[in-house]
Structure 1
Amino acid sequence: MVVLNAKEGKYYSLVLSGRDLWERLAEPVQVSALCADLAAVYAADPQDIERETLEFLAYLHSAGLIRVC
């Protein structure tokens, strides 16, 4: 999946879990609910999922691709 930041003209490539996370952001969601959903799908330590999710959300926010409320 490729995401375009039209304002800056930059493209971002998302694969596997990044794509899944992006699709879950179609509607506003609390981070705790997002992490719980991902933990239900992926067989990984919930703390690892939370850490990696927060890192990825911070990246998306710094790239101007999401708003954090």
Structure 2
Amino acid sequence: MRQIAERIGGHLNLPVASIPVEHAAEHFGWLGPIFAMDAPASSALTQKLMEWHPARPGLLADLDAGHYFTH
């Protein structure tokens, strides 16, 4: 989440601040528990079971392409 927030903040020239996990619910409201979870994810199993391989850039590279931040 930090990297995503940093990329978006950087493209929009907005400051980004780290929120301690114990303050996530207070800061994000009902979304707080989602942001507080330690739930790493991987597409490795999906790729193996479905014989699927991503053909497009990952999320961070896609954000860096800048097309989400045009005026």
TM-score, normalising length: structure 2:
0.26
- Between the two structures, name the one with larger relative contact order (CA 8 Å, sep ≥ 6): 2
More strand by share: 1
The structure having more radius of gyration, on CA atoms, is 2
